[in-house]
Amino acid sequence: MILILLGAPGAGKGTQAQRLQDSRGLVQLSTGDMLRAAVAAGTDVGKKAKEVMERGELVSDDIMTGIISDRLDQPDCANGVILDGFPRTEAQAEALDNMLNDKKLSLNAVIEMKTDDAVLVERVTGRYTCANCGAGYHDSFLKPAKEGVCDKCGGQEFTRRSDDNAETVTSRLKAYHAQTAPLLPYYKGKGILKQVDGMAEINEVTRQIEAELQNI
């Protein structure tokens, strides 16, 4: 199964992708996570992406398309993937269609996580992640059972993203509305767009996504 989670910054793409990975054995392909790893490793892509990401703008379509095409060829993706953060422009969506055609794969569904912009700054600025296993948390909305200890791995170190400040989130939201939201009619036209209420509580969003996937 190839699934796209489409939504604004903080809509819950990463949170729900991690759950689908655990429940369905799909692999989460988060282009944001891949770019952050490239920045941390100081690769050529990382050097190009660092400042663009800090401004909350989009990295070039060529770089992103290349990263995803290479990743899809790796054996762990054979059971299916959740695209989290890709495609983000019409050019990326067209490139994805072409690459899936070439690889004899097809896109099963695009799930839009609908949110109001007003909640997103609080979601993003309250987010933190386990430094050991990558599990995501939130200061108010998703705390570990024991404060300071990761539920999944017991790790006690957490990180926050440098682009998770109110100013950069505002630019990321602008980029979403200008460049990514036009993908909604693109996928609606193909008859594969589903919608869930991204404003609902986290478990309820999971339930709605699972309900949409039942019919596929």
**Helices (DSSP H) in 25-153: which residue ranges?**
31-41, 44-55, 61-72, 90-102, 117-125
- Of these, 7, 10, 12, 14, which contacts Mg ion (CB under 5 A)? 14
The residue among 92, 49, 66 whose CA lies nearest residue 180 is 92
186 interacts with, out of ligand AP5, Mg ion, Zn ion, none, CB within 5 to 8 A per kind: none
| Three-state SS at 145 | coil
C-alpha 85: how far from chain center? 4
Subset of 127-156 contacting ligand AP5 (CB under 6 A): 127, 136-138, 141-142
**Residue 195 to residues 27, 122, 171, 179: CA-CA distances in angstroms?**
21, 22, 24, 19
C-beta of 33 vs 97, nearer to Mg ion? 33
Q: Tokens 């379509």 correspond to what residue?
A: 61
| Three-state SS at 28 | strand
Cα–Cα distance for residue pair 154/195, rounded to 1 Å: 34
The residue among 20, 53, 68 whose CA lies nearest residue 213 is 20
Write down the least CB distance from residue 24 to Zn ion, Å. 20
- Of these, 9, 45, 208, 213, which contacts ligand AP5 (CB under 6 A)? 9
- Of these, 20, 81, 124, 213, which contacts ligand AP5 (CB under 6 A)? 124
- Determine the residue type at 107: L
**Contact window for ligand AP5 (CB under 6 A) among 69-77, 99-107, 143-151, 195-203:** 195-203
Residues in the interface with Mg ion (CB under 5 A) total: 1
Residues in contact with Mg ion by the rule CB under 5 A: 14
As annotated, the active-site residues are: 13, 88, 127, 161, 172
Q: Which residues lie near ligand AP5 (CB under 6 A)?
A: 7, 9-15, 31-32, 35, 52-53, 56-59, 64, 85-86, 88, 92, 123-124, 126-127, 136-138, 141-142, 172, 200-202, 205
